[in-house]
Amino acid sequence: MLILRTKVGSTIGCLFRRKGSTIVSTFSMISIIDDDASVRTSISSLLRSLGYSVQTFASAEEFLGLGHFNDMACVIADVKMPGMSGVDLQALLLARGHRLLFIFITAFPEESIRERALNAGAICFLSKPFDGPTLVDCLERALGKREE
């Protein structure tokens, strides 16, 4: 098995493993969901510069349209968006049996929402503005949990 790793040791990109006589590849994607295009672009640029595979979505509904979540390493989602909130997305995915790792970002930190997200398994709950190293630290913790 070939495993690509970041500078600090977390698995990213393409994993190759032998299944019978064929080699199967799986991509570990980081999904960014935020209604603010500048936030999506900033986070995406940061993570891509560190070697992560990233996809972006303008809404929770757009993300749900993806339909398959097996290759998802982590979701970075805004809490408050038009339509479905990030925390409601997390709850819906859990109810459907998808145990994705979430990092939440918000410009409107509310303790009750923070508690709800963390109790449902979120790795981090960051208030905007936050710095890049803080987000990367949260992502590394999430990817470390995924590998356990």
Checking if the pLDDT of 16 tops 60, the result is no
Residue 49: pLDDT above 80? yes
Handedness of CA 33, 39, 42, 46 (dihedral sign): negative
pLDDT tens readout for residues 18-33: 344 433 334 478 999 9
Hey, is 12 helix, strand or coil? strand
Domain limits for position 103: 2-147
- The domain that holds 31 is classified in CATH as 3.40.50.2300
Q: What is the pTM of this model?
A: 0.82
| pLDDT recorded at residue 68 | 80
φ/ψ of residue 38, rounded to 5: -70, -35
Say what angle helices 86-95 and 111-119 make with each other, to 10 degrees.
Answer: 30
Q: What is the pLDDT of residues 72-102, one digit of tens each?
A: 899 999 999 999 999 999 999 999 999 899 9
Euclidean distance between CA atoms 57 and 117, whole angstroms: 20
CA pair distance 62, 144, nearest whole angstrom: 27
Number of domains making up the chain: 1
Q: How confident is the model at residue 48 (pLDDT cuts 50, 70, 90)?
A: very high
